[in-house]
Amino acid sequence: MNDNNHGGKRAGSGRKTRTNEQISIKLGIEAIEQVYGSEKAYWIYFAKLSKESFNHFKLLHENVYGKVKETADVTINSENDNFVSRLLDIPEDNYNKLFNEETNG
């Protein structure tokens, strides 16, 4: 067995309990109110920083609207017919026959 304590299950690892998360949130809000006066003042300050810093803008945007999910824009046109037939594993002759029937009829 490997005794170097790297990898695998370790005590204290993993997600915090719900109670610990709520305690952290409460302490964070109390600290924000102590430093900025209110949560609103904190977010206003953060929004002002976001005008000058992309990192602040990104954090603000993700906290308000959620993280942006990556998407792939896939456009299929007649130039990509061979790609689609390979993707669907349809012999090109059959694909062309199906494609022409659907578009012409």
Which range is most confident: 28-32, 66-70, 93-97? 28-32
Residue with the larger pLDDT of the pair 21 and 77: 21
pLDDT at residue 63, as a whole number: 87
pLDDT tier at 28 (50, 70, 90 boundaries)?
very high
User: In this structure, what token pair is assigned to residue 66?
Assistant: 């959620």
Whether the pLDDT of residue 96 is over 70: the answer is: no
| Rounded Cα–Cα distance for residues 105 and 57 (Å) | 51
CA distance 63 to 43: 10
**Are the C-beta atoms of 42 and 32 separated by less than 8 Å?**
yes
| Res 37 pLDDT > 90 | yes
Residue 91 neighbours by CB under 8 Å, 6+ apart = 85
* pTM listed for this prediction: 0.49
Q: Are 40 and 33 in contact (CB under 8 A)?
A: no
* Per-residue model confidence (pLDDT) at position 42: 94
Read off the pLDDT band of 13 (50, 70, 90). confident
Could you give the CA distance from residue 105 to residue 96 in angstroms, rounded to a whole number? 14
Query: pLDDT tens-digit profile of 48-69?
Result: 999 999 999 999 888 888 887 7
